[in-house]
């Protein structure tokens, strides 16, 4: 079977290092592996509007930011199709039919949506569109017949929901949709990178991010003021790794070569961790190393971004071309779906003939 990727991001802000380790870095590897016949990367503006209905300008302005982040990380428009969700009306149509296959109580059980509702103080006033976005995500994934969805851990419930819709659809209307598989990061620290403030998830909506496009200075400031171990007051105190965001980031980003280059006192991260736990290693030294690690990771991305920033119209052209290509694929899937559901009245000559005969014409 053909291997196809679909993944994406909401244009609610610039992309951050959580996106990078959770999904973006992997996408670029998969893109360059040559194992996938098609790769669709979606800027989910329609989904972003589900909780930003009163602030469409935010979504509109951030489309280019997300596109620039993609291109600067190595998403290659020759190999991957970058599309804007709202420009593919077939996705909305699919969503509408899938809605009939999902119950309200099933949506209410989605733990990611539950947490997001709480975070946005939506408890008493959840927009219907926001509440149902897992269904629209199922439409996005199935429209492109995606087999593989490389995302962070928070997307697990969305993939479960998508699989359920696929099963239900195929069992009611016949084999039509393809069941997707989630591809989570191998590295545990990358499943859900915490925010610089130590909270559970780095998120555009929480303001605890290091953005891929941050300046060298911004990154350094963010690192030096990061949350570590509140019990590690003196350098000589034993430090704790549990919940220590600086070490989680090192788990996500550092490699042995970086130790040789920037912190030769240790050969690898385990040695540094051991020293920290024993006592005698100060947070400042660890943070300085993390700063070097992040600067090395982000410098080439930043440099690439500057190049693309000089030709914004070309970036929009890439998005337009990608959206057009994507629409062709989604339109074919929508035809398959409508055929399966038998809502293809004008193409169904047998139906017209049978009814004509029934009426004796
Ligand atoms: P918002 O706050 O608007 O929801 P977000 O920062 O959560 O924004 P999304 O656009 O919802 O970002 O997520 C895009 C992709 O990035 C998803 O695959 C998601 O799993 C992944 N991702 C987002 N934040 C993190 C994180 N902190 N760690 C790992 N992966 C992440
Ligand atoms: Mg999110």
> Could you give the CA distance from residue 155 to residue 184 in angstroms, rounded to a whole number?
9
**SS3 assignment, position 183:** strand
pLDDT of residue 334: 98
Ligand showing the shortest atom-to-Cα distance for residue 196: 1
Residue with tokens 């090395």: 296
> Could you give the CA distance from residue 134 to residue 281 in angstroms, rounded to a whole number?
45
> Could you give the CA distance from residue 230 to residue 323 in angstroms, rounded to a whole number?
48
Q: How many CA atoms lie within 13 A of 162 on its CB side?
A: 29
> Could you give the CA distance from residue 280 to residue 140 in angstroms, rounded to a whole number?
51
112 lines ligand 1 (CB under 6 A): no
Ligand showing the shortest atom-to-Cα distance for residue 13: 1
Cβ(39)–Cβ(5) below 8 Å: yes
Fold matches, 4-192+312-353 and 216-308 = no
- Shortest-distance atom of ligand 1 to CA 153: 20
> Could you give the CA distance from residue 31 to residue 40 in angstroms, rounded to a whole number?
10
Cβ(44)–Cβ(204) below 8 Å: no
Which of 7, 19, 20, 185 for mutating ligand 1's site (highest number of atoms within 8 Å of CB)? Answer: 19
> Could you give the CA distance from residue 243 to residue 240 in angstroms, rounded to a whole number?
8
pLDDT of residue 266: 94
Dihedral sign, Cα of residue 31, residue 147, residue 22, residue 94: positive
> Could you give the CA distance from residue 279 to residue 188 in angstroms, rounded to a whole number?
25
Where are the strands (E) in the chain, listed by range? 4-9, 38-43, 81-84, 148-150, 181-183
**SS3 assignment, position 299:** helix
pLDDT of residue 163: 98
| CA-based nearest residue to 77, from 299, 330, 322 | 322
How far does residue 203's CA lie from ligand 2's centre (Å)? 7
Cβ(86)–Cβ(45) below 8 Å: yes
Ligand showing the shortest atom-to-Cα distance for residue 151: 1
193 lines ligand 1 (CB under 6 A): yes
Give the chain's residues under pLDDT 70.
361
DSSP characters for 80-131? SEEEEGGG-HHHHHHHHHHGGGS-HHHHHT-HHHHHHHHHTT-TT---HHHH
Question: Going by CA atoms, what residue is nearest to atom 30 of ligand 1?
Answer: 22
**SS3 assignment, position 342:** coil
Question: Going by CA atoms, what residue is nearest to atom 14 of ligand 1?
Answer: 9
pLDDT of residue 119: 84
Cβ(35)–Cβ(180) below 8 Å: no
Query: Which class for 295: exposed (0-12), middle (13-18), buried (19 or more C-beta within 10 A)?
Result: middle
| CA-based nearest residue to 36, from 10, 66, 7 | 7
| CA-based nearest residue to 12, from 207, 155, 221 | 207
69 lines ligand 1 (CB under 6 A): no
Q: Where are the domains of the chain?
A: 4-192+312-353, 216-308
CATH 1.10.240.10 is the classification of domain 216-308 = yes
Residue with tokens 């300008």: 57
> Could you give the CA distance from residue 320 to residue 300 in angstroms, rounded to a whole number?
26
Assigned CATH topology for domain 4-192+312-353: Rossmann fold (3.40.50)
Query: What count of residues does the chain have?
Result: 361
pLDDT of residue 75: 97
Which of the 8 DSSP states describes residue 265?
T
């Amino acid at each position: 079977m053909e291997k196809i990727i679909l993944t994406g991001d909401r244009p609610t802000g610039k992309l951050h290092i959580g996106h990078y380790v959770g999904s973006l870095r992997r996408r670029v590897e998969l893109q360059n592996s040559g194992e996938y016949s098609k790769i669709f990367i979606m800027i989910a503006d329609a989904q972003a509007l589900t909780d930003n209905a009163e602030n469409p300008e935010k979504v509109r302005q951030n489309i280019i930011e997300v596109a620039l982040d993609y291109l600067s990380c190595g998403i290659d428009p020759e190999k991957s199709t970058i599309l804007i969700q709202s420009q593919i009306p077939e996705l909305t149509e699919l969503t509408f039919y899938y809605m009939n296959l999902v119950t309200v109580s099933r949506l209410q059980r989605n733990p990611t949506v539950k947490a997001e509702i709480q975070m946005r103080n939506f408890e008493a006033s959840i927009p219907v569109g926001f509440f149902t976005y897992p269904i629209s995500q199922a439409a996005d994934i199935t429209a492109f017949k995606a087999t593989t969805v490389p995302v962070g851990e928070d997307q697990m419930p969305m993939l479960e929901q998508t699989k359920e819709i696929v099963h239900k659809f195929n069992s009611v209307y016949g084999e039509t949709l393809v069941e997707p598989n989630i591809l989570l990061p191998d590295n545990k620290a990358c499943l859900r990178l915490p925010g610089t403030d130590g909270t559970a998830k780095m998120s555009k909506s929480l303001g605890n991010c290091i953005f891929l496009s941050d300046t060298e200075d911004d990154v350094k400031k963010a690192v030096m003021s990061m949350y570590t171990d509140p019990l590690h007051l003196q350098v000589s105190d034993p430090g704790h790794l549990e919940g220590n965001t600086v070490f989680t980031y090192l788990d996500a980003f550092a490699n042995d070569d970086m130790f040789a280059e920037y912190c030769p006192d240790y050969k690898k991260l385990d040695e540094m961790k051991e020293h920290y736990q024993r006592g005698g290693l100060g947070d400042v030294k660890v943070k300085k190393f993390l700063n070097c690690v992040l600067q090395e990771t982000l410098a080439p991305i930043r440099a690439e971004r500057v190049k693309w920033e000089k030709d914004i119209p070309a970036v929009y052209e890439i998005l337009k071309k990608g959206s057009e290509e994507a629409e062709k694929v989604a339109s074919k899937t929508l035809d398959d779906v409508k055929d399966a559901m038998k809502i293809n009245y004008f193409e169904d000559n047998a139906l017209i003939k049978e009814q004509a005969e029934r009426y004796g014409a």
